[in-house]
Amino acid sequence: MIAPSRAGWRSVAAAAGLLAIGACASASAQAVATADATLDADSQAFKREALELERDLRQLETSRLYPAANRLEVFVATDIGAFFKLETLRVELDGKTIAEHRYSDAESAALTRGAAQQLHVGTTSPGAHQLLAVFTGRGPEGRRYRRGASVDFTQAGQPSRIDLRVIDGEGPQQPAFSAKVLP
């Protein structure tokens, strides 16, 4: 039997070392990939929980700041919107301004496509109230419009929801404006 030379042993040892390093690197890469996947999953779960918590906190805040018995909510929508482009809307409750909004082109277009906006959430005292909405915008042929719509309602121990609506008039191609209490 011939004994390997020192150089031969060194080559064998070097090859074995490289194989060991390669195996460790491969195992390390797999461990890193697994750790990354776990971290991504944990991150997504954390984001989901944070969004749920934020939603719950908003609901709690709304119920605490605006008790259901005295809550007033005002919504805005349009029907088709071919004859009127909403630019501003001011809402008054018993002569005091409670909400005012200037509409961008994108917001006005969204209302035309069927979106509804929650314009105001607040509280009112029990009893009779009058809500006045003043709509400002452009009508057919670019004519400026400033029209109002009002509704009387009674706050009596349950939430009041008011719907403000811009409606395309059928006959004279003029916009109409309405305010009504939702059931």
pLDDT in tens, 21-41: 655 656 666 766 787 788 888
Residue 25: per-residue pLDDT: 58
Residue 79: per-residue pLDDT: 81
DSSP string, the chain: -PPPPHHHHHHHHHHHHHHHHHHHHHHHHHHHHHHHHHHHHHHHHHHHHHHHHHHHHHHHHHHHHS-GGGEEEEEEEEES-SS-EEEEEEEEETTEEEEEEEPPHHHHHHHHTT--EEEEEEE--SEEEEEEEEEEEE-GGG-EEEEEEEEEEEE-SS-EEEEEEEEE-SSSS-EEEEEEEE-
Over the range 169-178, which residues count as b (16 or more CB within 10 Å of their CB) and which as e? eeeeeebbbe
Residue 180: per-residue pLDDT: 93
> In the predicted model, what is the mean pLDDT of the chain?
83
The Cα–Cα gap between 38 and 152 comes to 58
> How many residues in total does the chain contain?
183
Task: Answer whether residue 44 shows pLDDT above 60.
Answer: yes
Amino acid at 113: R
Q: What is the CATH number of domain 68-182?
A: 2.60.40
The Cα–Cα gap between 42 and 31 comes to 16
Residue 61: per-residue pLDDT: 76
Task: Answer whether residue 9 shows pLDDT above 80.
Answer: no
Q: What is the pTM of this model?
A: 0.64
Residue 139: per-residue pLDDT: 81
Residue 82: per-residue pLDDT: 73
Residue 57: per-residue pLDDT: 84
| 119-166 residue pLDDT tens | 999 989 999 999 999 999 988 788 898 999 999 999 988 889 999 998
Which residue ranges make up each domain of the chain? 1-65, 68-182
